[in-house]
Structure 1
Amino acid sequence: MTHLFSPYEMMDLKLKNRVVMPPMCQYSVSNKDGIATDWHYTHYVSRAIGGAGLIIIEMTDVEPDGRISDYDLGIWSDDHIAPLARIVEACHTYGAKVGIQIAHAGRKAEHAAVPVAPSAIPFDNGSKTPRALSTAEVKDMVEKFRQGVARAIKAGFDVIELHGAHGYLIHQFHSPLTNQRTDEYGHDLTLFGTEVIRAAKSEMPAGMPLIMRISAKEYVEGGYGIQESIAFSQAYKEAGVDMFHISTGGESPVGVGPLGTKDKPGAHAAYQVPLARAIKHNLGVPVIAVGRLDEPALADAIIGNEEADLVAVGRGMLRNPYWTLEAADQLQKETDVPVQYRASYPSKK
């Protein structure tokens, strides 16, 4: 039977289990230079020791003003390559594969003097009004994504994830709420995303999967839902996305801002899983489910019931670097426990 601790293969990516550490910003760059620090090394490598099959490095941005804050990771310079490669190499030592989420915050770049976006629409009433990118600048932005992916390949990552969710730049382009352009990037809301995908694939080895994280539902009045996200995901699949990472929201604060509020994200366990299942079965693509999936039995059931191919555990891994080892013990599944820790797992001796 397929379960949380069964291996998974996709193209050249081979994972020892279905457990993913999703990208979660640490806001821990020390000199505002975007360079990974010892904190990042310890943070990620400890989850590899803890048994995760795939670790996705947090949102890493293609230009300095593309960061949420000045303390986020960057990939706009060759100076970023070696510190990231150090993390990748160490994680590989413990059997984990490593991805990186390449991104641009767009209008949500809080520390940019003037953020940029598809259109000059602020995130909320307390945010800076962004400057709309010119058509030429949009094309330049695609090139910045390409260069970022090229650096990630040099750093030795096993998989690339593009951030098309949570109200960041790619999401801003494919949402009619935030893209009110009149040029080619307004006539086709998926054009920017598809160009970024093709640029990324041009740098990636043929056997390396490309993941895209999307928000499958917007929580604002007039926002898109699952049918619209199936449609734009189809365009992204045709452009080269191999797997989707299904989240929701992020385009406006709940209850705040000029866009108004439609409803609130669910607070219950697995509230986003039906959306992941819909993308998986409508498009025939593998998906990562995420969102309050910290209970091992629940994560295991999602895999066993074929609702998703991989399960991302966020808060659970922030609390416990060894969540994966604990989950295997609870589920009575086989997994490799570091020899130094086996005394605490009598069944693994």
Structure 2
Amino acid sequence: MSALFSPIDVGPLVIRNRVWLSPMCQYSCMERDGMPAAWHLIHLGGFAAGGFGLVMTEATAVSAEGRISDRDTGIWTDEQASAWAPIVEAIRAQGATAGIQLAHAGRKASTYAPWGAPAKGTIPAADGGWSTVAPSDVAFEGYVAPVALDAEGIDKVVADFVAAAVRACTVGFEAIEIHAAHGYLLHQFLSPLSNRRDDEYGGSLENRARLLLRIVREVRAVIGARALLVRLSGTDWAEEGEDRWDAEACAQVARAATEAGADGFDISSGGILAHPSIPLGPGYQVPFAETVRAAVDVPVSAVGLITDAEQAERIVADGRADAVMLGREALRNPQLANAWSVSLAAGTPGVPGQYERAY
């Protein structure tokens, strides 16, 4: 039996297989109102029909100021939540688990979308940009400097994540993921390269993780029988000798997050530095997932240049990760999970009847 296509328990959920869709920003809210629309239904519903076990939304902003770009999806209003409902229904109708990634971009917010936009970098106020926030007033390279959050601002961030999680549950999402990776706000607190605070949210690793753990605890308290995941970067890819966030720090925070109520982790890397040196290669981020998996007793997924069925099967069968998340490879073929199940002789349990003739 294929390890990749065996079911997996994640908190209270049973997910049908271990081929999961990675959160991928679409920058497709063309009205700039955070409302998911037809594109998001087609995009995400296609992966559910394609046999994926967990279908995760893109980074979905918990507040207007938390958007990466003005074309990001959001769930800071009830109207936005309602717009997600038919998308959730479409995912679940095909037997997949519907997950949402809740995010705040911090100092990397208020930027032009990477496609179809008139410019790059920070959107000026004259073009609809907004002031950004971060743990410290340290700018991401090439962007406008953020405002350091005060105690009231930190409390608002926590409240925004909690309110977004409640809305997500109301419309049927079964898995809630807190985005603490890729150089966005919660990662900015975790990394000493971006967090220069000297209060209870800065300095030691325990202090830098305080905000994330507050959010994990408070979201856990309101989501009931849903799975709570956390996405973490396994490293900042900083040079040796620099203060840095690395795999061991990531594993320590994952242990604390598990104690706070997290049901699983999604391990990626990078995002704090604009131009890190990254040794790209097949499965190059899997070792970070492996380090975290050795430190916790909940499922951990791996992502990053996982491109063929045999490679993915080995990662799971060898115990390096409990699931794999696919990004670009999934974009190239939304039917990838079904195709892999055939190539691994795992049958075609995820194939809709309408598509059976193709297999």
Partner residue, 2:335: 322
In structure 2, the residue matched to 1:196 is: 215
The residue number in structure 2 matching 1:258 is none
2:276 counterpart of 1:237: no
3-state SS in 1 of match to 2:202: helix
1:219 corresponds in structure 2 to 237
Deviations 1:81-119 (A, max 9, x none): 111111011111111111000010000002442210000
Deviation at 1:2, TM superposition (A): 5.5
1:241 Cα deviation from its structure 2 partner: 1.3
Deviation at 1:167, TM superposition (A): 0.4
Partner of 1:172: 188
Q: Deviations over 1:28-62 (max 9, x none)?
A: 00211100010000000011111111101110011
SS in 1 for 2:213: helix
Percent identical among aligned pairs is 40
Q: What residue in structure 2 maps to residue 32 of structure 1?
A: 32
The correspondence for 2:160, drawn from 144, 156, 163, is: 144
| Worse-superposed segment, 22-31 or 275-284 | 275-284
Counterpart AA for 2:231: R
Q: Which amino acid aligns with 2:17?
A: N
- The answer to whether the Cα contact below 8 Å between 2:293 and 2:321 also exists between their aligned partners in 1 is yes
Counterpart AA for 1:218: D
The CA deviation at 1:265 is 2.0
Which residue of the partner structure matches residue 117 of structure 2?
Answer: none
For 2:320, the equivalent position in structure 1 comes to 307
CA distance in 1, matches of 2:228, 2:162: 13
Give, in whole Å, the separation in 2 of the partners of 1:273 and 1:103: 23
Counterpart of 1:302, as a letter, is I
User: After alignment, is 20-29 or 212-221 more displaced?
Assistant: 212-221
CA distance in 2, matches of 1:143, 1:93: 31
RMSD of aligned residue pairs (Cα, Å): 1.2
1:92 & 1:229 partners in 2: Cα distance?
Answer: 32
Change (3 A) 1:113 1:10: closer
Equivalent residue, structure 2, for 1:123: 140
- Paired with 2:358 and 2:78, the residues of 1 have a C-alpha distance of 42
Deviation, structure 1 residue 24: 0.2
AA matched with 2:39: W
Note if contact 1:30-1:37 (Cα within 8 Å) is conserved in structure 2. no
Distance 2:197 2:221 in 1: 27
Work out the CA distance in 2 between the residues paired with 1:159 and 1:114. 31
CA distance in 2, matches of 1:176, 1:240: 25
Match of 2:32, SS state, is coil
Mapped to 2, the partners of 1:224 and 1:202 lie a distance apart of 28
How far apart are the structure 1 equivalents of 2:245 and 2:208? 13
**What does residue 267 of structure 1 align with?**
280
Q: How far did 1:75 drift?
A: 0.9
User: Structure 2: where are the runs of 5+ without partners?
Assistant: 112-122, 124-128
After superposition, residues 1-349 of structure 1 pair within 5 angstroms as 1=1, 3-109=3-109, 110=111, 111=123, 112-124=129-141, 126-187=142-203, 188-205=207-224, 207-221=225-239, 222=242, 223-254=244-275, 261=276, 264-336=277-349, 337-345=351-359
Where 2:95 maps in the other structure, the secondary structure is coil
1:251: Cα distance to partner? 0.3
Verify the 8 A CA contact 2:22 2:325 in the aligned structure 1: yes
TM-score, L = length of structure 1? 0.93
The code of the aligned residue for 1:204 comes to: I
